[in-house]
Amino acid sequence: MAYPSLLLDIQDQVATITLNRPEKRNAISAQMLVDIPALLAEVASGPARVAIITGAGSAFCAGMDLESLRALATQSPADQYQEARRMVGMFQSVYAFPKPLIAAVNGPAIAGGTGIATLADFTLAVPAAKFGYTEVKIGFLPAAVSVFLIRQVGEKRARDLLLTGRIFGTDEALSVGLVTRSVPAETLMDEAHALAASLVALSPTSLAATKRILLQWNHDDVERDLEIAVRESIAIRATPDFREGLNAFLEKRIPQWSGQ
C-alpha cells in the first residue's frame, strides 16, 4: 500500500517508519491519522520483527497540522467525533503495536508528537529534542494522551506536565521515564538499529507474548478512559475559550480568555 505521509523501509527484519512531512515539521495531518494505524497494521502482520519510527528532517513531529487545526473550528459534531476517534485510534495503534517499537526522536516532538514518541516501547531521543503537552495553551484538551501519561509517570508529574503545557527537554523526559535513553544526534539511527538488532535476536514468540500480557493488565481501564477522553475532547470544542485559543494561535496573537 501507498502511504502519502510516511516512508517504510524494511531491512534485516527491522521496519523503519519515517514521518515524512519535513516541510511541515512532520505535523499530524488528517492523512497521517489514517496512515499511521494502517502502516503499523501492515508491519504487524508482515515479516519484520521490530519497528523503528522517526521523523524526516529536523523535527520528529510538531503536533497537529495547521490546516487540521483550522478545520476543527468548522466541523460538524459528527465530524468532530470521527476526528477524535481517529486521533485516539492513532495513539492506540502506537501503544498497542504487537511487536517491539522504538521511537528515534530526532528533534522536537510536541503535543501529539510527544504522544507518538513516548508511547513506543523504547524512546531514544537526541539531547536537543523538545517535548510538551501544549494543548492548554490554545484552549484545547490533552485528552487521549492524558490516559497514557498518568500511567507512565504518575499523577503528580502528569498534573505538572498537562496543566502547565510547558516545553521540556530530553533530560527531564529521561528523568520522569518518558525517554529511555539520550543519544547523540549523529548516532541516533545507529543506536536505534543496534537496539532493534538485539531485539531481533530474541524469541519473537516470547516478545509478542510479553507485549500482549503487558497490554492486558490495563486493557479495560484504558479503553474506558479513552472513551471518556473522546467525549471530553468533543465537548471542549464547543466552548468560547477553545475558539478564542484556536483563533489566537492561528493569528499569532495572545488569547483573550473568557473562562467559558
Residues 26 and 59: beta-carbon distance below 8 Å:
yes
For residue 110, the cross-strand partners are: 132
Residue 232 is a catalytic residue: no
Amino acid making up residue 44: A
For residue 132, the cross-strand partners are: 110
Residues 132 and 168: beta-carbon distance below 8 Å:
yes
Q: Which residue has the cell 513516548?
A: 118
The active-site residue out of 135, 155, 186, 232 is 135
Those residues with Cβ within 8 angstroms of residue 203's Cβ, 6 or more apart along the chain or in another chain:
none
| Closest to 195 (Cα-Cα) out of 93, 101, 96 | 101
List, by residue number, the catalytic residues.
Answer: 135
